[in-house]
Structure 1
Amino acid sequence: MKKLLLASCFLALAPAAFAQTSPAETAAVKKTITTFFDGMRKGDSAMVRSTLAPGVVLHTIMSRNGAVQTGTEKAAEFLKLVGTPHKEVYDERISFEQVLIDANLASVWTPYQFYVGPKFSHCGYNSFQLVKFTEGWKIVHIIDTRRKEGCK
């Protein structure tokens, strides 16, 4: 009976042990996301592109007239928006609430506030999925929520 209890405890704790990652790996994941937003602020589409994996998927969740909707944005359109000269800075301010890593997969949860220049536009949460390729961590999927009220 003691052996069964001990084995059960080991199995219950095993996933947590395998999911642990080094602070350096967590920092590398955060750097990819930070570079993405630094590129947005600079209007540098090449900098943003350097953080994205081929075939990256960009989704958003919105509520319009009380109905939940999802939208997909093509990466090329997003990069064009970022890289086309514009007067105001696109400033998405995030904080890293949760970073989970297992092997070559990372999942990151970040609350954000978005400003166009000094003017608040909207807020929400980003969920990033990243994969570690030979050249480093790349974003393969972003999905976010958008709202104007109830912001952190």
Structure 2
Amino acid sequence: MRAYCILFFLFLGLASKAQKQEVQKSIEIFFEGFHQRDSIKMKTVCADKMVLQSISENSVTGNKLTNESPEEFYKAIASIPVKMKFQEKILSCNIQIDGRMAHVWAPYQFYINDKQSHSGVNAFTLFKDKDSWKIIYLIDTRKK
């Protein structure tokens, strides 16, 4: 009986690790598309009705919550000038999964032309649709 319990928990741990890798792969594809200005690639890991929000922190005007439609978001990504160098460095990635839902907490630093523009946290919520994880909600904070 003890051996069965050990095997059960070993299998459970391996299954959990595999799911986390699948979720992380979706996030990696999202950022590959972002850095390549490739909205088509990004769409492969995003739900059609994805919700996008940002919280900007400003000591003068206060905090501001903004909403963006997926169409506006993809258009903005595709229209980033080719001459502009930008990079979003993900500092860590904490993935939590419950069945067909996953949450990813990912602190970042954003650079434009090798200068840090802002930093914050990306919070992704994903849904496992059939065999793939799709981003259904993305909110980020932005601090100067």
TM range (shorter): 0.7 to 0.9
Residue of structure 1 in register with 2:116 after alignment: 120
Tell me how many residue pairs correspond in the alignment.
130
Percent identity, aligned pairs only, is 36
How far residue 41 of structure 1 moved from its aligned partner, in angstroms, is 0.6
5+ residue gaps, structure 1: 1-18
TM-score, with structure 2 as normaliser? 0.83
Instruction: Report the 3-state secondary structure (helix = DSSP H, G, I; strand = E; otherwise coil) of the residue aligned with 1:146.
Output: strand
CA distance in structure 1 between the aligned counterparts of 2:111 and 2:41, rounded to whole angstroms? 20
Deviates more, 1:30-39 or 1:86-95: 86-95
Residue of structure 2 in register with 1:94 after alignment: 90
Residue 22 (structure 2) pairs with residue 46 (structure 1): no
Is the 2:86–2:114 Cα contact (8 Å) retained in structure 1? Answer: no
How far residue 135 of structure 1 moved from its aligned partner, in angstroms, is 4.1
Is the 1:43–1:89 Cα contact (8 Å) retained in structure 2? Answer: no
Residue 118 (structure 2) pairs with residue 106 (structure 1): no
Residue 52 (structure 2) pairs with residue 74 (structure 1): no
TM-score, with structure 1 as normaliser? 0.79
Please say which structure displays the higher CA radius of gyration: 1
5+ residue gaps, structure 2: 1-11
Residue of structure 1 in register with 2:78 after alignment: 83
Moved over 6 A (4+): none
How far residue 53 of structure 1 moved from its aligned partner, in angstroms, is 0.5
CA distance in structure 2 between the aligned counterparts of 1:67 and 1:119, rounded to whole angstroms? 24
**Aligned-pair RMSD on alpha carbons?**
1.8
